[in-house]
Amino acid sequence: MLNSGENFGHYTINSAIGAGGMGEIYLARDTRLKRDVAIKILPEKLLKDDAAIERFMREAYAASALNHPNILTIYDIGEFEKIRFIATEFVAGETIRERLKADNLPVKESLDIAVQVANALDAAHSAGIVHRDIKPENVMLRADGYVKVLDFGIAKLIETRNDERGIINEENETLRQSPPNIRHSTTPGMIIGTAAYLSPEQARGAKVDTRSDIFSLGVLIYEMIAGATPFAGATVPDIIAAILKSEPKPLSDFLKTSPPELEWIIAKSLKKERKARYQNIRELSADLKRLGQRLEFETELQRVSDSDLKNQTNSNENPTLVFSNNPTNTAIKKTRKAIDSLAVLPLANVSGDQKTEYLADGITEYTINSLSQLPKLRVVPRSTAFRYKNQENDLQKIGEELGVRAVFAGRVMQLGDAIIVKTELVDIANQAQIWGEEYRRTLTDIFSLLDEIAEDIGKQLRIKLTGEDKKKLAKRYTENAEAYQLYVKGRYFVTTRRTEKFIKKGIDLYQKAIELDPNYALAYSGIAEAYGFLASSTGGWSPHKAYPKAKAAALKALEIDDALGEAFCSLGFSRLLYDWDFDEAEKAFKKAIALSPQFPNAHDGYGFFLKAAGRHKEAIQKGIEVQRLDPLSPFGHISLGYAYYFARDYEKAIEECNKALELDKYSTFAYRNLGLAYLQSGSTENAISALSKAVTFSSGGFAFESYLGCAYALVGRYKEAAEVLENLHEISKEKYVSAYSFAMLYLGLNDYDQTFEYLEKAFAERSGFLPFLKVEPMVDPLRDDPRFEDLVWRIDLVR
């Protein structure tokens, strides 16, 4: 115990200000730098405890590695007369624990504190440090509202790994260049932390990562508002049992006005399984900030009376309050015009249940499709919108990236048969929330929920809806809720997973939906699209096996509903790539565009027809149109690059393929088209490099492998070409390999007899590559051969 006035090295002790199991804390004066500091020393009784000394010094090393305004600053680490100490900045204020003794904290103040704690943890996590003991005693509140996170005494130093989820590697517990003689691993099974704030993995004595701090922060937020911890018990074992097995009482039991969104944030933070929680602290921080901004907006809105607003505007339109960019964030009034462009982002699944994931995607897609029917509104297509799925979403930034006036976002929670959807609509130009709503329905009432969301968005966009527009918004494809759920699940597998296994699973789910509702046109259209995927160059099915089923499903969908643009699009691909019927293909694609003018696939399909027909200028313009509709999708650039390739403008083809790769560095089709363009421009080594990547990323795309083999042969690498050829022959004994693939390989080997033999087989197969023979640069060496003229003539006859 140190006494007031006592000198401790170059520090003069003023008074004791705290004590705990891991140290005594004193207010002192640094006589060298003339500033007040806090001195924390290890108690004398623990000087012989190696583990205690290690924990004490670990705090110093961990915290001293951090430099952040919300983390207590370490000034000095040392030893004086065999007493180990840490000197830190002195924070005048109170801990959250002391603050809670007076009363619970208001929601707004709790959110502000939580965001500052999250900022501190973000800095720690970025440095490879997990705090592991976030609790009210370790968060200090200064008088000016600033928050300081204290006590990194049990912080875990671990090696960071940059991965897609932003999660620190929980398998590696050592920090590079660690201080000497300091162990950083904990004994397996040892529980570290304070019982009520432990994450489930800490309570089990398992390894921890950054998501443990997220759980503890969730507990802290809950306690600040409720005045009680979410997991309670008479003894430590009781508390741990509650953490592992029980769910906390709703916040609304303690605070009737608790925002539902805050309930969601806490519920997601307190998920038992780490994978179901926020995956990094920045996601949690973003949601806390967004909620705080909304509550502040609502507070400002309440301060302005309706009479004041009426006096401030001469417009007949209802004014909208937005935040100004000035430091006081004062609410200002603006008259909002109708919004002409919108992005509907994938609704977040906050239930941590895969079934809800299908439902969230289904609601998102339904909303996109419904709103896309409105003639005066440009809606970002699904393919671009879903690029933001499972990402930390800054709505303002996304809106600016996509060039839209408004962004719609939300979350879905499913509790048994109950669905809760929380939504918001943000005006990007005015940087303000236009509208927010919470919907509560049951699964059996899913359709009224879908209709209401689409209709409410339409109203908030200030678009004048005609009677026909309202019919389009309210259009349903089935009244059977179970069939709809099967459909959205099938849609998830077909469009998201895109492998043969999952496409077949999706088809099975579509068919089950049709069994429940035989007139479910959208499910038939889904089947048509799925079989089209299976017939593609990566699908692995022969044209005879896949396309008749695709065509039959499309025709059945149109028999039920002849206004289904998606079904006409699928029919167009079957007409073009299997029937080789150019006239009917063009009709189908034009009809698809007329019915669904914002559907990028319809424009892309028509672009394929134009390429095959040799109408190069139109094909290029259609590629540009696809890019306009789907600005962040690589397929617009791939399609345009392919158009330039057939038009023999290889420089521009290469440029577009590289733009596609900037958007998706694993795009197999971009690498294939890039390789073909390089091959035709004489840059064979670049061609081989690009085609090799196409093979690598396709995971079994035999068409890509055949082009690589052709490139090998053209540069004289016959051994590698022969190996590719032998490999394809072996694979063809068990799986379908297009005869056209073999034709390309033999073409590269200058074996024209075998080339024509396999082109004849491709003709018998009804290969989807043959309609492009007239414009395909790869087959230029064959054009003077009578066998080629005969083949093209017979293809024309089939047309």
Per-residue pLDDT tens over the stretch 284-341: 998 898 788 777 756 654 554 343 444 444 444 433 333 333 333 333 344 456 688 8
Inside any domain, residue 775:
yes
Considering the domain architecture, whether residues 269 and 146 belong to the same structural domain is answered as yes
- Strongest mean pLDDT among 101-105, 533-537, 743-747: 743-747
pLDDT for res 109: 93
pLDDT per residue over 132-148, tens digit each?
Answer: 889 999 999 988 888 99
Considering the domain architecture, whether residues 146 and 250 belong to the same structural domain is answered as yes
For residues 79-88, give the mean pLDDT. Answer: 83
Instruction: Please tell me the distance from the alpha carbon of residue 763 to that of residue 798, in angstroms, as a whole number.
Output: 10
CATH assignment of the domain containing 46: 3.30.200.20
Instruction: Select the more confidently predicted residue: 272 or 321.
Output: 272
Considering the domain architecture, whether residues 131 and 51 belong to the same structural domain is answered as no
- Indicate the average pLDDT of the chain: 83
Structure tokens at 327: 């430091």
Inside any domain, residue 237:
yes
Considering the domain architecture, whether residues 140 and 252 belong to the same structural domain is answered as yes
- For the cut 50, the answer to whether the pLDDT of residue 166 exceeds it is no
Hey, CA dihedral for 513, 518, 522, 527, is it positive or negative? Answer: positive
Query: How confident is residue 403, by pLDDT bands cut at 50, 70 and 90?
Result: confident
Considering the domain architecture, whether residues 468 and 362 belong to the same structural domain is answered as yes
Query: How confident is residue 642, by pLDDT bands cut at 50, 70 and 90?
Result: very high
CA angle 41–45–48, rounded 5-degree value:
95
CATH assignment of the domain containing 164: 1.10.510.10
Structure tokens at 213: 């701090």
pLDDT for res 59: 60
Task: For 222-233, give the DSSP string.
Answer: HHHHHSS-SS--
Exposed/middle/buried for 325, CB within 10 Å: 0-12, 13-18, 19+? exposed
Please choose, from the candidates 383, 369, 368, 345, the residue with its C-alpha nearest in 3D space to the C-alpha of residue 638. Answer: 383
Structure tokens at 208: 């921890």
Q: Phi first, then psi: give them for residue 391, nearest 5 degrees.
A: -115, 155
Inside any domain, residue 379:
yes
For residues 423-442, give the mean pLDDT. Answer: 84
Considering the domain architecture, whether residues 189 and 253 belong to the same structural domain is answered as yes
Instruction: Select the more confidently predicted residue: 690 or 102.
Output: 690
Inside any domain, residue 153:
yes
Considering the domain architecture, whether residues 33 and 138 belong to the same structural domain is answered as no
**Element spanning 530, H or E:** helix 521-534
Considering the domain architecture, whether residues 29 and 70 belong to the same structural domain is answered as yes
pLDDT for res 220: 96
Instruction: Please tell me the distance from the alpha carbon of residue 492 to that of residue 260, in angstroms, as a whole number.
Output: 28
Instruction: Please tell me the distance from the alpha carbon of residue 631 to that of residue 401, in angstroms, as a whole number.
Output: 9
Considering the domain architecture, whether residues 311 and 261 belong to the same structural domain is answered as no
Picking from 36, 69, 89, the residue at the C-terminal end of a domain is 89
pLDDT for res 46: 62
Picking from 473, 490, 517, the residue at the C-terminal end of a domain is 473
In DSSP terms, 148 is beta-bridged to 140
Exposed/middle/buried for 239, CB within 10 Å: 0-12, 13-18, 19+? buried
Considering the domain architecture, whether residues 360 and 330 belong to the same structural domain is answered as no
Please choose, from the candidates 644, 643, 671, 645, the residue with its C-alpha nearest in 3D space to the C-alpha of residue 657. Answer: 671
Inside any domain, residue 319:
yes
- For the cut 60, the answer to whether the pLDDT of residue 184 exceeds it is no
pLDDT for res 459: 80
- For the cut 90, the answer to whether the pLDDT of residue 385 exceeds it is no
pLDDT per residue over 732-749, tens digit each?
Answer: 888 888 999 999 999 999
Considering the domain architecture, whether residues 369 and 234 belong to the same structural domain is answered as no
Structure tokens at 211: 């998501």
Give me the half-sphere count of Cα atoms (radius 13 Å) on the Cβ side of residue 367.
31
Inside any domain, residue 202:
yes
Q: Which domain holds residue 196?
A: 94-292
Instruction: Please tell me the distance from the alpha carbon of residue 700 to that of residue 784, in angstroms, as a whole number.
Output: 34
User: 136: Cβ–Cβ under 8 A, 6 or more apart, which residues?
Assistant: 95, 96, 97, 99, 100, 220, 223, 224
Inside any domain, residue 414:
yes
pLDDT per residue over 2-26, tens digit each?
Answer: 888 889 888 998 988 877 656 788 8
Instruction: Please tell me the distance from the alpha carbon of residue 337 to that of residue 316, in angstroms, as a whole number.
Output: 11
- For the cut 90, the answer to whether the pLDDT of residue 690 exceeds it is yes
Picking from 438, 458, 473, the residue at the C-terminal end of a domain is 473
Inside any domain, residue 182:
yes
Considering the domain architecture, whether residues 104 and 63 belong to the same structural domain is answered as no
Number of folded domains that form the chain: 5
